[in-house]
């Protein structure tokens, strides 16, 4: 326990998220010519407001499991965080040069779920769609969780199940299209393969070098 908390300074790396969020907001509020990547499959997907629950739970899911990874295995934590940061930066480049948009449905009726959808729509403009950062970060957590040794059975089951719900929720609340989802999963898998399997990041601790290697 003591040795683990000597690495508590690694948690300061989570401060990168407000910076990434600021960049996202700048791009999200710059309505350049935007493409619509809808397919016939997207047209068949209904709007289901209850899926806003896993969509919003994403905020807790990402931060919570990064902290869990830090506690269980700082190597997995650092690698997963690296995948997310590189992935988001790649998304920002795409957003700048190839902006996409998702036309939103007209919301009618009342209820907690519709109100939550309205809240999300009002705080997140319908741009920055391809690739989906919601999907990218969620899939990074799912892949990172596979590398946690002696993982509790609850987390082994909960992460892929909840992660899958979060990913498909982006389609049912009409925040993303199917191409946004698959594009993000491909990008995450590519970066994951480099960070987890090929790239080694040295960490110096009292003149001893430890490599982020499984």
99-129 tens-digit pLDDT: 999 999 999 888 999 999 999 999 999 999 9
Radius of gyration of the CA atoms of the chain, in A: 18
94: its two tokens: 């795409």
Query: How many Cα atoms sit within 13 Å of 172 on the Cβ side?
Result: 17
The CA distance from 182 to 189, in Å, is 10
133: its two tokens: 């950062």
| % residues pLDDT > 90 (the chain) | 81
Give the pLDDT of residue 35: 93
Give the pLDDT of residue 154: 96
96: its two tokens: 């700048």
Give the pLDDT of residue 210: 44
Longest dimension (CA), the chain: 63
The CA distance from 9 to 7, in Å, is 5
Containing H/E element for 143?
helix 133-145
The CA distance from 176 to 90, in Å, is 18
Q: pTM score, two decimals?
A: 0.89
Containing H/E element for 20?
helix 16-28
H runs (alpha helix) in 29-98: 40-43, 52-72, 74-97
The CA distance from 98 to 109, in Å, is 35
Query: How many Cα atoms sit within 13 Å of 182 on the Cβ side?
Result: 7
Q: Does position 175 have pLDDT exceeding 80, yes or no?
A: yes
What band does 196 get if pLDDT is binned at 50, 70 and 90?
A: confident
Q: Does position 80 have pLDDT exceeding 90, yes or no?
A: yes
The CA distance from 64 to 67, in Å, is 5
Nearest to 32 by CA among 129, 123, 132, 122: 129
């Amino acid at each position: 326990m003591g040795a683990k908390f000597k690495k508590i300074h690694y948690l300061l790396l989570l401060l990168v998220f407000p910076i990434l969020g600021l960049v996202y907001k700048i791009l999200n509020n710059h309505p350049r010519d935007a493409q619509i990547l809808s397919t016939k499959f997207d047209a068949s997907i209904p709007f289901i407001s209850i899926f806003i629950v896993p969509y919003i739970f994403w905020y807790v899911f990402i931060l919570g499991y990064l902290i869990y990874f830090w506690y269980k295995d700082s190597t997995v934590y650092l690698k997963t965080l690296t995948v997310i940061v590189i992935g988001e930066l790649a998304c920002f480049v795409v957003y700048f040069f190839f902006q996409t948009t998702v036309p939103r449905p007209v919301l009618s009726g009342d209820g907690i779920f519709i109100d939550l959808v309205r809240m999300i729509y009002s705080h997140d403009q319908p741009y920055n769609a391809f690739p989906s950062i919601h999907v990218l970060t969620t899939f990074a957590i799912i892949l990172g969780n596979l590398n946690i040794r002696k993982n509790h059975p609850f987390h082994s089951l909960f992460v892929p199940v909840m992660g899958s719900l979060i990913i498909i929720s982006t389609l049912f609340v009409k925040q993303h299209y199917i191409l946004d989802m698959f594009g993000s999963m491909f990008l995450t898998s590519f970066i994951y393969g480099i960070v987890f399997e090929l790239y080694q990041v040295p960490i110096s601790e009292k003149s001893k070098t430890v490599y982020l290697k499984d």
